[in-house]
Amino acid sequence: MRRHRGDRPVGGARTGGGQGCGVSAVGPEDEYDPLTDPLPPGELGSPWFRPTGVPEEELPQQPQPVQQPQEWYDPEGYQRDWYVQPEQEPTPQPRPRPQARPRPQARPQRRPMPDPQPMFDPDPAPEPVPAPLPASGPLPVPDDETVALRTSDTRRAAETPTGPGRAERRRAAKGRGRRRPEPAPTASDTSAPAKPLSRVEARRAARALKDSPAVIASRAIGELFISFGVLLLLFVTYQLWWTNVRAGQQANQETNKIQDGWAKGRTPGVFEPGQGFAIMHIPKLDVVVPIAEGISKPKVLDRGMVGHYAEGKLETAMPADKSGNFAVAGHRNTHGEPFRYINRLKPGDPIVVETQDAYYTYTMASILPQTSPSNVGVIGPVPPGSGFTEPGRYITLTTCTPEFTSTYRMIVWGKMVEERPRSKGKPDALVG
C-alpha cells in the first residue's frame, strides 16, 4: 500500500493524515519528485492528494499509464525510456560512373519447348474416408497418433506426382509424343452381334451391290474416250516431232550421198524418181536441203527433201536449161518442213541451186500467198501473176498453206542472175 502525505490546505497549512496529527509517516522514498509527479502536492489529481475522512476504497483511482509494446526483449527487466533519437539524413554518396557494358555475344537459338501436357494421375491414391460422427454426444477428440497418421497421409498425397509418368514427360519434352488417340468405340462395336440375314434379304443385298447396266455402259464409253484421247495425243506427237527428227536424218544421208557421187565423178544423166541430184541453199532461212527427182510423198517429200516437177504434164525445166521454169515442191509443216518460212522471203533474197557442175543463183521476185492446188499455171514457162512477161530462166517454190493444212498452195518466184562453174568457187551469196 502506497503511503500518502498529509493533505495541504489551500492556505498553505498542512493537516494531519495517516497515523498521527501533524506528522505523517512518510519515508524518504515517498518524497515528492517533480520529475515523476506532474502535479504539485495538495493539488486535485496529484497522487499526494487525499481528502480527510474519505476511505481509501472510495478515492478516485488514478489512470494507469498505458504500457507501450517493446520493440526488443529485455530479460533483465530494466526500464527503457521511450526516447527516439531523430533519424539522421544519409550522407549523399558520389554516384559511380557506369562502366561500358561488354558487347553481348550471340546466343545460340534454343529449341522451343513444347506446351506442357495436362497433368493427370494414372493411379490416383484413394481418398481417406472419414469416420462417421456419433449421432449425439460430444465429438471425439483425435489423439496424437491419429493426427500424426493423417498428417503423414496428407504429406504423401502432396508429394505424389499427379501428372504423367517420367517416360511420358520425356517424350513430350523431346516432341516425340505423337501417339494417336485410340478411336472411340462406335455403336456398332458395342452393340450386340447382328442377326443373320435370311435368304431373301441376302439376295437383295447381293443384287444391290451389283452395278446397273447404265453404269457399266457409261464406264465402257469413258474408257473408250480415254483410249482415243491417248492415241490422238500420241499421233500428234508423232506428226509434229518425230517426223521432223526422222526426215532430218534421211535428208542428211541423201545430202552426203549426193556429195559422195560428185566426188567420185559420176556422169550426169537422166535421174530416176526419188534420186537426189542437187542441193538447194536459202541463206536467209538457213536452209540446206537436197533436191530429188519427182514429187512423190513417200519417196521424196516425206523424207525431208524437195521434189522436182518432172512427171507428165507437170514436167518443168532443169537449172542447166537455157530457158524454162525450174519448179520444186516441199513440206511446210512436219517431215522436215524445209519450206515452212518461205513467206518471209523478200524481193532480192538469194536462192542458190548447187549441182555437180555449177552454182545457179536466183533472186526472189514475187510471191503468191494463196492459190488453188489445181492451178498448174504457176509452174509454166512464163507463170501468170509472177510479173514475168517473156521466157527466161526462172525458179518456182510451192508449198501448202495455211500451216498444218493442205487446203491451198503458196507460190514464190525467182529469176536467175548468175551461173557460176564449180571450178570458180562458191558464189558471193554462199560466201557471205
Burial class (CB in 10 A: 0-12, 13-18, 19+), 329: buried
How far is Cα 187 from Cα 252, in angstroms, rounded to an integer? 77
In which band, very low, low, confident or very high, does the pLDDT at 4 lie, cut at 50, 70 and 90?
A: very low
Selecting among 281, 332, 335, 400, the annotated active-site residue is: 400
Choose between 366 and 12: higher pLDDT: 366
Q: Which of 82-96, 162-176, 186-200, 334-348 has the highest mean pLDDT?
A: 334-348
Selecting among 8, 281, 335, 409, the annotated active-site residue is: 409
Cβ neighbours of 111 (radius 10 Å): 8
pLDDT, the chain, mean: 76
Choose between 36 and 235: higher pLDDT: 235
Q: How many CA atoms lie within 13 A of 205 on its CB side?
A: 7
What is the percent of the chain with per-residue pLDDT over 70, rounded to a whole number? 57
Our answer to whether residue 400 is catalytic in this structure is yes
Phi, psi of 397 (to 5 degrees): -110, 125
pLDDT at 89 over 90: no
Q: Which of 15-24, 74-83, 182-191, 378-387 has the highest mean pLDDT?
A: 378-387
Choose between 151 and 30: higher pLDDT: 151
pLDDT at 198: 84
Our answer to whether residue 409 is catalytic in this structure is yes
Each domain of the chain, given as residue ranges in start order, spans 1-60, 248-431
Our answer to whether residue 21 is catalytic in this structure is no
How far is Cα 37 from Cα 424, in angstroms, rounded to an integer? 156
Residue 356 DSSP SS3? coil
Q: Do residues 401 and 332 lie in contact, with contact meaning Cβ atoms separated by under 8 Å?
A: yes
How far is Cα 406 from Cα 384, in angstroms, rounded to an integer? 22
pLDDT in tens, 149-208: 566 666 665 555 555 677 777 777 776 545 555 555 555 555 556 678 788 888 888 878
Tell me the average pLDDT across 97-120. 63
Phi, psi of 225 (to 5 degrees): -65, -40
Residue 229 DSSP SS3? helix
What's the helix, strand, coil split of the chain in %, to 5?
25, 15, 55
pLDDT at 29 over 50: no
Selecting among 331, 332, 393, 420, the annotated active-site residue is: 331
pLDDT at 31: 52
Q: Which of 363, 344, 343, 345 is nearest to 353 (CA)?
A: 363
Cell 506442357 belongs to: 116
- What is the DSSP secondary-structure string of 120-173? --SSPPPPPPPPPPPSSSPPPPP-HHHHHHHHHHHHHHHHS--S--HHHHHHHH
Cβ neighbours of 362 (radius 10 Å): 25
Q: How many CA atoms lie within 13 A of 12 on its CB side?
A: 0
Cβ neighbours of 332 (radius 10 Å): 23
Q: Are strands 324-329 and 408-421 parallel, antiparallel or unpaired?
A: unpaired
pTM of the model: 0.53
Q: Do residues 347 and 364 lie in contact, with contact meaning Cβ atoms separated by under 8 Å?
A: yes
Residue 363 DSSP SS3? strand
In which band, very low, low, confident or very high, does the pLDDT at 223 lie, cut at 50, 70 and 90?
A: very high
Q: Do residues 411 and 378 lie in contact, with contact meaning Cβ atoms separated by under 8 Å?
A: yes
Position 257, amino acid: K
Q: Which of 87-91, 176-180, 403-407 has the highest mean pLDDT?
A: 403-407
Among the residue ranges 167-181, 212-226, 365-379, 395-409, the one predicted with the least confidence is 167-181
Q: Give the homologous superfamily in CATH for domain 248-431.
A: Sortase (2.40.260.10)
pLDDT at 8: 45
How far is Cα 279 from Cα 285, in angstroms, rounded to an integer? 15
